[in-house]
Structure 1
Amino acid sequence: MHGMTSFDDIYDRPDPRAYFTRLAPLSYEIPHHAQAVFRRTVAERADPGLTVLDLCCSYGINAALLNHDLTLADLYAHYTSPMAARLTTAELIEYDKEFYGARRRPGAVRVLGLDIARHALDYARAVGLLDGVHSDNLEEHVPGPALMAAMADVGLITLTGGASFLSRRTFAALLECAQRPVWVSAFALRTVPYAPIASCLAGFGLTTRTDPDRTYPQRAFTDPEEQRAAVRAVRLAGLDPTGRETDGHYHTALYESRP
């Protein structure tokens, strides 16, 4: 997105340590807000065979928080610790298998991950956070056979980051493959319009609701220029940045789409 600092270099490392180390000073917190929302949505979806597809899943952080007795603060502490810093990626993978295995919640749901960051996907799969991973770029290509087959069981699509880079193409491609009713629960920055995606979902029989007065902080701005661009974009969208973006943080809105 124009005016937004790029963090591309931390999204596709062999493990998540750089990701958490870079984002900690910026108080990146949207997965924390999503944790309770996604757990509640899974319970409301009430489908015993439910599979969740986490879009732009990176290292499986939403899956970690959905299915394990952990907070986002726990993950920051874990991956920025001196102990983690001493390990090789291979050693960290072995450690994380036990770390997550010991904290798995009863009633954990199956989670698939979709992201173009192959290293991040491989890590999340290796440590057991994701039950299946797909690196299809649906903005540019149709889904491959594996993703098409996997969509048969998906009943909930989640998203906490990446709405700025996704269009209706990705959502249409996924819903065209769906075999059961799909709900979508998405956190999107207020700097980008979600209406085109909501319009696409409406074509598949989904009604999108959002509470314009309820926002969720995403992270602090990296510099005044990034803040100015965000405030300008929010105003252009017809929204009020006062007390939100003007106070130094990106804010997101929650969009819930259901039949």
Structure 2
Amino acid sequence: MTRGLTSATTPGKSRFDDIYNEPDPRVYFRRLAPLEYEIPHHAQDVFRRTRADRAAAHGGADGPVTVLDLCCSYGINAALLNHHLTLAELYAHYTSPETEALTTEELIDVDKEFYASRRRADATPVIGLDAADRAVSYALAVGLLDDAYAENLERHSPGPQLRRAVAGAGLITVTGGIGYITHRTFEALLECARVPVWVTAFVLRTVPYQSVITSLAHYDLVTRTDYSRTYPQRLFTGPAEQRSAVEQTLSTGYDPTGLETEGRYHTQLYQSRPRPRPA
């Protein structure tokens, strides 16, 4: 697919299908760099804090908090969660002349050392889920993911191995997938849960999220957000995408003034946690 195509799930939104399932992330970073794609940067500290809060809330009874990252792509959220790295450093790494000259196999060898040398002492297991099989294979090969599944839960039930993996996940994260995945994916995953699960989702303001909130409530998860704060995602690809985004933002009940009208997609952060039990 080309940049000029639009998304079927978010009308008017440019598609980047050609970068999501390459053998490695170099094309992904080269394409998104000019658009200043930045939401993983904003998610980094949020995911770390939420992981710590989830561990503290349950007294470590379940062991280290296993994170399930939805639409995980090349493992970028896992890289930022578990390593002494910034998103800017990842852009620099994957767009550098040194990595450009490597084959994918050579890059995998380089990246194994790159990530291992930056591993944080508080790193915890991360499971990746994405329909893009080559992307998750890369993330698994370089050690960003402890387990990875290329399954589409919008169309199929989770396989037995995914079910077993999800059973121990304490935190579900997502930065860029809502709209491509819906309440169906969350329901399929929560059916597999065997420990208390928290959900942290960054959602484009152009995409309705209420159906997911309603589904999570059926599993006794209460969802909250701070409507006064947004997190920028990326620049628009052009005036047509911006006009469509402004219209979609209005249709979901948000005011685009000073945000989408200024040239960028913005996201809302939703935190879903188990309903407090009566004392």
TM class by shorter chain equals: over 0.9
Map residues 87-126 of structure 1 onto 2, 5 A cutoff.
87-126=102-141
Q: How many angstroms does 1:156 deviate by?
A: 0.3
Sequence identity percentage? 64
State the TM-score, normalizing by the size of structure 2: 0.92
Secondary structure, aligned partner of 1:177? coil
CA distance in structure 2 between the aligned counterparts of 1:73 and 1:228, rounded to whole angstroms: 29
Secondary structure, aligned partner of 2:90? helix
**Which residue identity does 1:196 align to in structure 2?**
S
Native 8 Å contact 1:49 1:153 kept in 2: no
Q: Choose the corresponding residue for 2:37, options 28, 45, 59.
A: 28
The count of residues paired between Structure 1 and Structure 2 equals 259
* Corresponding residue number in structure 2 for 1:11: 20
Q: How many angstroms does 1:50 deviate by?
A: 1.6
* Corresponding residue number in structure 2 for 1:59: 74
1:82 aligns with 2:115: no
Q: How many angstroms does 1:166 deviate by?
A: 1.3
CA distance in structure 2 between the aligned counterparts of 1:106 and 1:49, rounded to whole angstroms: 12
CA distance in structure 1 between the aligned counterparts of 2:77 and 2:146, rounded to whole angstroms: 13
- Alignment gaps of 5+ in structure 1: none
**Which residue identity does 1:26 align to in structure 2?**
L
Q: How many angstroms does 1:7 deviate by?
A: 0.3
- Alignment gaps of 5+ in structure 2: 1-9, 275-279
Q: Choose the corresponding residue for 2:170, options 155, 158, 167.
A: 155
RMSD: 0.6
Secondary structure, aligned partner of 1:164? coil
Residues 227-247 of structure 1: CA deviation (Å, up to 9, x unaligned): 000000111112110110000
* Corresponding residue number in structure 1 for 2:153: 138
Q: How many angstroms does 1:136 deviate by?
A: 1.5
Q: How many angstroms does 1:148 deviate by?
A: 0.5
Q: How many angstroms does 1:107 deviate by?
A: 1.5
Q: How many angstroms does 1:49 deviate by?
A: 2.9
CA distance in structure 2 between the aligned counterparts of 1:50 and 1:70, rounded to whole angstroms: 20
Secondary structure, aligned partner of 2:191? helix
Native 8 Å contact 1:158 1:186 kept in 2: yes
